Amino acid sequence: MKKSTEIIPESVRQIVAELREQIHYHNYRYYRLNDPEISDSAYDELFQELQRLEREYPQLVTPESPTQQVGAEPLEAFRPVTHHRPMLSLESSNEDRILEDFHRRVLEAAAGKTAEYLIQPKVDGVSVELVYEDRRLSRAATRGDGFTGEDITLNIRAISTVPKTLSPSAPATVVVRGEIFMPVEGFRTLNEELITENNKPFANPRNAASGSLRQLDPAITASRPLQLFPFELTNADELGYMAESDCLKDLKQWGLPVPSEATEKGASPRDMEAIHHRYQTSRDQLNYEVDGIVVKVDSLPLRVTMGSRTRTPRWAVAYKFEPRQEVTRVAKIIAQVGRTGKLTPVALLLPVDVGGVTLSRASLHNFGEVKRLDLRAGDTVRIQRAGDVIPQVMEVIKPGAPRSEPFLPPKSCPVCDSLVVAEGAYHKCPNRFGCSAQIHGSISHYSSRMALDIEGLGEKTITIFLHKGLISDLASIYNLSQDKIASLDGFGDLSAQNLIGAIEKSRKPELHRFLYGLGIPNVGEKTAADISRHFGTFAAIRRATGEQLLEVEGVGPIVAQSIVDFFASPPVSAELDRLLDEVSPQEIEIQEPSRAELTGKTFVFTGTLERFSRLEAQRRVESLGGRASSSLSSRTTYLVHGPGAGSKLEKARQLGIQLLNEREFLALIGEKAE
């Protein structure tokens, strides 16, 4: 039931803000670090609760909410690439009603006619878009945020199983979507090699594939056993196809490795369930990880009729498997202190093998979960793993005998002994600057890849430096000396020199990276970037009022108050002053506000422009709220053409796309032609 006209309780706003913070954090762990902390099902619970609250209070929905986004923003180590067509996510569930609901929706759209479905295994890998021009692989990108991905062309070309050219029978331009995955056997061999070399092994094949694609050295990617599972011809409608099954047959003829399991068909929920059951019962015998099936309408015209939501198409769903489960015993329950001081209960388990991974601990999310399960040390429990290494405790099967005392939130911090304070459903240690766990977390976050990116200052190194008294806060990082580092066990002159070099390189950080690196509650990467573009300097951000912060698109009252409270804290202010003696965040030009005329519109450029290069024109459009693409489709709004325009101009006329010359384009974006 929607409550759009009612006043929203502050408690609801707080819960929504906390859910978004958690989901953004877990997206970061999953998409960026390839190191998830919670199971798929636990993530789904958080996401579905946020969706429920946003349906109930629709005025809380913002473009920055995880429910309105796909994946994560592209990494800055790779050039951003605009996708030929948005790479959306899929509606997913492991409940069989998803098939009935989907089938009913399809029949309604088909006006009662029968519809055929393509049923494919949901390979657990990394989604990529491959573009072949003149039948040669010209560009490859990760999904990124669904609209813009990371340019990984060199790395994809390094994978021997990905064809670099297509057969002469293929069209000149072919856009393919597929999954890059690592076979199970290859994953095990890779992890054995990493462990032998004293490197951290990957948690699962999906993380191994993702990490391999994000290598800055393509030679490393080439050494990894990666394969391609193509499942879609993205520009099928432009090539005149009517059914995706026909597309897949032709993709195979053109040289792409389309497996037979990508082309199975069905016409009813019973067909879908039968294929789902077959994969679920044989999943451990497959040479790739699969966590469900994907069911898609085969008819391309019917897909157009059904359309898409913000982040998911209406013409496809993912029917996921029940997570793998095992039984073990809880040896102990502890409270773990995070970067923000939040205490999280963790169950230490007797080691148990779940789907080929040995597990010994499980996050319990919050103390309410411990109470709900009535979980205690000594209990025998059922745990499940849904594709990652951190399991979820599902239920207590057998209480310990004798039963131990209930595990309650500690009254004092287990790390620094400060009195714990309750904040809603959470418990926190308030000793931000004296609790070693929070100091460790703060420095780790500050030096992470998406913040200051201080290579070599990882968690183990931070632990050693804190123990030896070499660092105590963020500013102290810049007082480290090469001689002291080199004298420590496990370090040498070269590693010490490299670390000092990385620290020195971070003295002039980009403004949004610095702001994100401070770890302000409720301020993720995107919010930090939006605030930085709005204010331009750190000094302006630091002195901004709540009212001024609310002028930033996507910043609501809770986020604004978090920022104001952060900078108003005397200990924070003192630490910032020390830090700013060492670093100088770069200033940026304040971004112009979006133009309503460009919002939601897609531009393609062809020919020569006088005022801008093509790349500059694309960036200009995106800075004003529009989208830029390199390929024409029926979804293109404008084709901007200059002298030397080629076949795109004629194709745009055939598709009925509005044409703009450079003078008309300049008028649209509010600039005068010279």
Preceding peptide of 345 cis, ω within 30°: no
User: And the tokens for 637?
Assistant: 């709004």
Q: Residue 448, Cβ neighbours under 10 Å: how many?
A: 21
- By residue count, the chain amounts to 674
Q: How many CB atoms lie within 10 A of CB 588?
A: 15
Q: Which residues of 313-337 are buried (b: 16+ CB within 10 A; e: fewer)?
A: bbbbbbbbbebbbbebbbeebebeb
Distances in Å between the alpha carbon of 176 and those of 84, 133, 209, 257, 326? 10, 11, 18, 12, 38
**How far apart are the C-alpha atoms of 104 and 86, rounded to whole Å?**
25
**Which helix H or strand E contains 326, and what residues bound it?**
strand 324-337
Read off the DSSP letter of residue 7: P
Pairing state between β 173-181 and 227-233: antiparallel
Name the DSSP class of 661.
-
Q: Are 209 and 182 in contact (CB under 8 A)?
A: yes
Catalytic residue among 2, 3, 113, 122: 122
Which sign, positive or negative, has the C-alpha torsion 511, 516, 521, 523?
positive
Beta bridge partners, 324, equal 385
Q: How far apart are CA 43 and CA 289, in angstroms?
A: 19
Return the number of other C-beta atoms located less than 10 Å from residue 142's C-beta.
28
Q: Is 371 a catalytic residue?
A: no
What is the crossing angle of helices 10-27 and 557-568, to 10°? 80
Beta bridge partners of 150: 80
Q: Determine the Cα–Cα distance for residues 86 and 299; give it in Å rounded to an integer.
A: 19
Detail the DSSP E strand segments found in 405-469: 421-423, 426-428
The candidate with the shortest Cα–Cα distance to 503, out of 463, 456, 464, 449, is 456
Kindly state the tokens that stand for 392: 């979820």
Residues marked active site are found at 122
